[in-house]
Amino acid sequence: MNNVLDGIKPKKVFYYFEKLTQIPRGSGNEKEVSDYLVNFAKERNLKVKQDDSLNVVIEKDASEGYENAKTVILQGHLDIVCAKEKDVEFDFEKDPINIYIDGDMIRTKGTTLGADNGIAIAMAMAILDSDEIMHPKLIVLATTNEETGMEGVMGLEKGTIKGDILINIDSEEEGVLLASCAGGARSEISLPIKYEKNEFKYNYRIFIDGLLGGHSGIEIDKKRASAIKLMGRVLSEIDDEIEFGVSEINGGEKMNAIAKRCEVLLSFNDNIKFEEIINDISGDIKNELKTSDEFILIEYELVDEKKEIISTQNKKDLISLIRLIPQGIQTMSADIEGLVESSSNVGVIKTNENGIFLNSAIRSSINSLKFEIVNRIVRLTELTNSNHKLTAEYPEWQFKKESYIRNLMKEIYSKKFNGELKVDAIHAGLECGFLKEKLGDIDMVSIGPNMYDVHTPNEHVSISSVKNVYEFLMEVLKEMK
């Protein structure tokens, strides 16, 4: 451990956060970090349980004088999104994350940081490790596989934990208390393909890169472009002009991130006409995105690799799928001004020996609208000779009109920061929806420090904001006597 964060306050929070950055913990690879948390609890003689999903539950008795206070559950997730810049050599299965301090920010060198949600786990560990922080009985719940569909919390057995209040620490904006979140689902389209002999003369790779991307829930309202959808437009416009073949297409990294990059291997006879078309398309798209994605790159290169091409019908179906699949905001809330109500994001497209696959993240704060989007996608697959599968569905977390913890936090925030704590909803999936199902009608809120560009290699977190939120959390626990 390099102790890059040594001396930064709150010391224990940043000590444990840096510890976490040294442990590989991408979704599905949480055994080591789960065991680390279990050993942490055992070393401090705290009651701990690790379940089959590798979720960890740690209990700490109430401080003296707090025995009759409400039991508080502090909750966050262990896993992180594994994304890196294309030219960065990094193995998320074994390499520690290379962090550094940049003014008030903690950053990395070309990979995701894991502040989402390592900061939550680090805060909980710091509280558990302290004999000075006053608090009611605490239960810390650290879940797994949140980023890929919330399999960890789905696997949590009812009755495993019981509490009165749950504070989720998976939000990304200081001064905002979340009291509702969208539900969602993962949609997978599979297009079976048949390969044919490639009789074309020239082979090209087209690259779309340099887009901002971002979290498909939190940044979906910023109207950032999807490299996958743009590639569908490029293919469609080429198809209107000349004959060509498609060998493979790949793009995006995670289904819950807006695709920043996409590439396709094509073959032509008329390479001069192709280059004219692609240059015209590139100019149009760059002009359209000069505000939202000013650094977009649309490039092509002649390559010495000749592969079989998919059938003409496959090509037609592929272009139709990419062009017509829902992307971006679908509906806005009529109840909460500025809140995205429903959205869809095609985050990944990949080609392998079994076909071409498109993975989308569908979100909505209204269950019926979520399935309205799903039904449109199903109709599209029926028209394009493809198949559809819905997985990793998770429920929405509906707003609770009366909340003791929300009112307490608003009062404490006003006194501590001389400002108003904003109560809001988020168009992203939090585990709170499932936790409502598992724990019953529990009083629940979500808070967190300022984080930026989560789920991308530019993810960074504010040091001063972590300090503010942690001190705020300690004050809330203290006042719950």
State the catalytic residues.
79, 146
Closest CA to 395 of 182, 148, 144: 182
Half-sphere exposure of 375 (CA within 13 A, CB side): 6
Look-up: residue for tokens 């057995």?
157
Do the bridges between strand 183-191 and strand 202-209 make them parallel or antiparallel, or are there none, so unpaired?
unpaired
Lateral strand order in the sheet of 460-462? 99-102, 105-108, 460-462, 451-452
Q: Which residues partner with 345 through β-bridges?
A: 361
Rg (CA), the chain: 24
| DSSP bridge partners of 460 | 452
User: Which tokens go with 253?
Assistant: 């990294």
Contact in structure between 35 and 51 (CB atoms under 8 Å): no
Three-state SS for 132-189 is CCCCCCEEEEEECCCCCCCHHHHCCCCCCCCCCEEEECCCCCCCEEEEEECEEEEEEE
Cβ atoms 382, 314 nearer than 8 A:
no
Helix (H) or strand (E) holding 207: strand 202-209
CA distance linking residue 22 with residue 33, whole number of Å:
10
In sign, the C-alpha dihedral spanning 388, 430, 93, 466 is positive
Residue 392, helix vs strand vs coil: strand
How far out from the chain centre does Cα 370 lie? 18
Specify whether the backbone of 262 is left (phi greater than 0), alpha (psi in -120 to 50) or beta. Answer: beta
At 350 the three-state DSSP class reads strand
Token pair in block for residue 288? 């359209």
Q: Hey, what amino acid is at 47?
A: K
What the block records as the tokens of 60 is 């700490």
Omega prior to 24 cis, within 30 of 0: no
